[in-house]
Amino acid sequence: MRRFLIKRVAGLFPSVLGVVTLVFLMVHLIPGDPVEIMLGETAMAAQKQAMRSELGLDKPIAEQYASYLSNLLRGDLGKSIKTGEPVFAEIASRWPATMELALFALLVSWAVSIPLGVLAAARRGTLVDKGSLFFSMLGVAMPNFWLGPLLILVFSIWLGWLPVSGKDEALSIILPGITLGAGVAALMVRLTRSSVLEVISEEYIKTARARGLPEWQVYLKHALSNAMLPVVTVMGLQLGALLSGAVITETIFSWPGVGRLMIDAIESRDYPMVQGCVLNIALCYVAVNFFVDAAYAMIDPRIRLER
């Protein structure tokens, strides 16, 4: 196990370096002058030069890259042009809200997909099975920017049950959590169904039935426990997708997370903040993938032996 983890950690460094490099090159690949984008074309030449000097854009690209890596190692992502505060501190203050929303969305998707997937497998070919597959296709087809306003219209404006936006009330997380978790739930229904159907023909399932166990116990106690390994793995990987996909949802519901912070930074042309948010989301995605891979190896020894 130790050897496997060492290999995975060693393989993690190229991924992290690649992400950091891509985020750094973003300033050099975007069309036009980033300083003019932030200050506007009407800014004076002295103002543009001062901004370039502040951001270090007047130095050779190799020196800029070395300085960028050095600052990252110290946790320095620069300062926000809009507020003057350190980028790292502002992202850290918004991160708990994003994580809270992502975990709640993951819980919603888990609570919906696993029971529905097991029920669809147990009632294969019936109306229940076809209904679950229809729900899966519908959930995948509905984008967040359409589902979110629809939920607001129904549950906030028409029925008045839930808050429209913000994070001031305890119930405020329900609508954005459902919006963010719907797509994941739709995907996990199909995966749970196929995983249960794959193990239901195994010999130990036949043995359990031969012992006279009730059908619900055969599915929940024996089939589901063995079918959960790929489900848990993909569910963990989806956490990274939820963290990155929260940008749209947080904007729709004015949720004070990193995604909303990034959109505000884009609107105000606060480039250091945009760069810090993109880097934060990308590194979190890499970290989640690494921990899920390590957890998978701990659960299933065959993964360690194959690698």
Statement: residue 32 has pLDDT above 70: no
The whole-number pLDDT of residue 13 equals 79
- Which of 3.40.1370.10, 1.10.3720.10, 3.90.1150.10, 1.20.910.10 is the CATH number of 90-306? 1.10.3720.10
Judged against a pLDDT cut of 60, whether residue 43 lies above it is answered with yes
How far, CA to CA in Å, does 4 sit from each of 8, 51, 172, 202?
Answer: 6, 47, 42, 30
Binned at pLDDT 50, 70 and 90, residue 305 comes out as very low
Q: What is the mean pLDDT of the chain?
A: 79
Q: Contact, 98 vs 287, CB < 8 A?
A: no
Q: Is the model more confident about 300 or about 258? A: 258
216: pLDDT strictly greater than 70 = no
pLDDT band at 49 (very low <50, low <70, confident <90, very high): confident
34-37 long-range contacts (CB < 8 A, ≥24 apart) are 34/271, 37/269, 37/271
Q: pLDDT of 143-163, one tens digit each?
A: 888 888 999 999 988 988 888
The pLDDT tens digits for 105-142 are 988 888 888 888 888 887 887 888 888 888 888 887 88
Would the pTM count as exceeding 0.85?
A: no
Instruction: Read off the tokens for 260.
Output: 């909303």
Give the CA distances from residue 187 to residues 16, 112, 238, in Å, rounded to whole numbers and listed in that order: 28, 11, 10
Domain residue extents for the chain = 2-73, 90-306
Q: What is the pLDDT of residue 135?
A: 82
Long-range contacts of 198-207 (CB under 8 A, 24+ apart): 198/227, 199/223, 199/226, 199/227, 200/121, 202/226
Per-residue pLDDT at 302? 55
pLDDT at 38 over 80: no
The CA distance from 224 to 122, in Å, is: 11
* Residues in Cβ contact with 26 at an 8 Å cutoff, skipping those fewer than 6 apart: 275, 278
Task: Produce one character per residue of 65-84: b if its CB has 16 or more CB atoms within 10 Å, e if not.
Answer: beebeeebeeeebbbbbbee
